[in-house]
Amino acid sequence: MAIDADKVAQDAINAIAEKIKNLNTLNIIVAGKTGVGKSTLINSVFREKLAETGMGKPVTQHMRKITKKGVPLAIYDTRGFELGKEVQTEVKKEVTETISKGFATQDINKAIHCIWYCINTASNRVEPEEIEWLKELSMDNQITQVPIIAVLTQAFSKKKALELRQMLLNENLDIIQVIPVLAEDYEIEDLGTAKAYGLDVLIKVMGEALPEELMDTLQNLQIVSLEEKKRRAQAAVATAALAAAGEGAAPIPFADCALMIPTQLGMIASITVIFGFDVNKSIITALLSSTIGAGGATVLGKTVVTNILKFIPGIGAVAGGAIAAGTAGVITAALGEAYIGVMELVFKGDMSIDDIGTKKGKETMSQLFKSNLKASNDCSQRKVGI
Ligand SMILES: Nc1nc2c(ncn2[C@@H]2O[C@H](COP(=O)(O)OP(=O)(O)O)[C@@H](O)[C@H]2O)c(=O)[nH]1
Ligand SMILES: [Mg+2]
């Protein structure tokens, strides 16, 4: 059966659009004095430089909500912490009310999911009012249990950051972590440059604190941890490989190999959403033609499958024109790993997203696919429990 590659690519694009549309919105309150580095932090952690897009919309007297069309993120930026005790009390009340309101809706898209309380490491000390503020906030937060993370910003001095971190931990505050970060490289006069660090730790901690319904959103938005993106993407590949292999242990006739395509498209859509790049149809077409397509016209036809089998060691001659169910899992896993491989190159800046569609990009994917077929036979079969 010849499966039209163009239609498959279009189906993939539709699946990606659908998944993006269905992402839940992540809502974060970012608090702390003006100048500590809140905007810099937000712009460094998430794609789209959200904090640059303007002032946001006022939601309370001291809080503005920053959003951008097509980005499943809302940042509640607080103002006025530096204005003294009275304003701080007002800010705390507004924060608590915003949390309660969101909580009452029982809607994941409206709830506040996390609070980042930012403290400037370079300022050398935490004011007693700030500790008091955090204590009171935790008290108000006993039922709602929104995870609070203390972020030590501008931590170019790691020594100072560790001292400050210990001091905060000693206060026994009800916060889940204290994380030193340097959002952007910092030039220290005559001493060279301190490299940005710590943002991947912040994402890892968020990944542990947030509910499953926000995991794809978190990975889609964050641009600082390749490791976390890969971990989530590889889980999607394992699930798809299992589904492709597990649709009955019976061998799959060549003519029915197309039955795995929907599973593979779901997998490609998941990986695309996790990496958060703008992937268009020509990129998907390139991916398909360099892996499971023949000359770009058909996908998983008999010739293609026969050709793929040559790269899997230990398969040998195939009796009765059918492939083993486990082999379907191997092919699916190799496709997923090849796609993750190019996404990784784009993430690292070694390849642009448009390069994927070029000869060089296709060759890279083809190489990755074949090497994964070779390598993954044993371990994928183990992964899918065969
Ligand atoms: N190099 C460097 N500068 C930073 C960092 N964080 C904040 N800054 C600088 O500190 C100033 C205040 O930061 P901003 O993000 O506007 O603080 P906000 O008022 O809390 O939003 C700006 O000039 C930033 O460039 C950082 O991680 N690295
Ligand atoms: Mg700001």
Ligand 1 atom at shortest distance from the alpha carbon of 33: 20
Is 351's C-beta closer than 6 angstroms to any atom of ligand 1?
A: no
Contact 72, 23 (CB under 8 A): yes
Residue 24 domain-assigned?
A: no
Q: pLDDT over 70 for what percent of the chain?
A: 93
Which tokens go with 134? 């955090």
Residue 47 domain-assigned?
A: yes
For residue 316, name the pLDDT band (cuts at 50, 70, 90).
low
Specify the pLDDT at position 384.
47
Q: Are residues 229 and 377 in the same domain?
A: yes
Quote the number of domains for the chain: 2
The CATH number that applies at residue 137 is 3.40.50.300
* Distance, CA of 168 to CA of 75 (rounded, Å): 25
Ligand 1 atom at shortest distance from the alpha carbon of 196: 27
Instruction: Return the closest-CA partner of residue 90 out of 31, 146, 150.
Output: 31
Say how many Å lie between the CA of residue 77 and the centre of ligand 1: 14
Is 270's C-beta closer than 6 angstroms to any atom of ligand 1?
A: no
Look at residue 304 and tell me whether its pLDDT is greater than 60: yes
Domain containing residue 323: 5-19+225-383
Q: Are residues 195 and 255 in the same domain?
A: no
Of 380 and 288, which is predicted with more confidence?
A: 288
Contact 153, 119 (CB under 8 A): yes
* Distance, CA of 21 to CA of 372 (rounded, Å): 31
- From 198, 221, 244, give the residue that closes a domain: 221
- From 190, 221, 252, give the residue that closes a domain: 221
Residue with CA at minimum distance from ligand 1 atom 11: 35
Look at residue 317 and tell me whether its pLDDT is greater than 60: no
Q: Are residues 232 and 210 in the same domain?
A: no
pLDDT digits (tens, 9 = 90+) for 185-204: 999 888 899 999 999 999 99
DSSP 23: P
Q: Are residues 191 and 245 in the same domain?
A: no
Residue 27 domain-assigned?
A: no
Residue with CA at minimum distance from ligand 1 atom 25: 40
Is 186's C-beta closer than 6 angstroms to any atom of ligand 1?
A: yes
pLDDT digits (tens, 9 = 90+) for 45-84: 999 998 876 678 999 999 999 999 999 999 999 988 888 8
Q: Torsion angle, CA of 256/261/267/270, rounded to 10 degrees?
A: -150
Measured N-to-C along each axis, helices 325-348 and 359-383 cross at an angle, to the nearest 10 degrees, of: 130
pLDDT digits (tens, 9 = 90+) for 84-136: 889 999 999 999 999 999 999 999 999 999 999 999 998 877 888 889 999 99
pLDDT digits (tens, 9 = 90+) for 338-385: 999 999 999 999 999 999 999 999 999 999 999 999 886 555 455 444
Residue 90 domain-assigned?
A: yes
Is 49's C-beta closer than 6 angstroms to any atom of ligand 1?
A: no
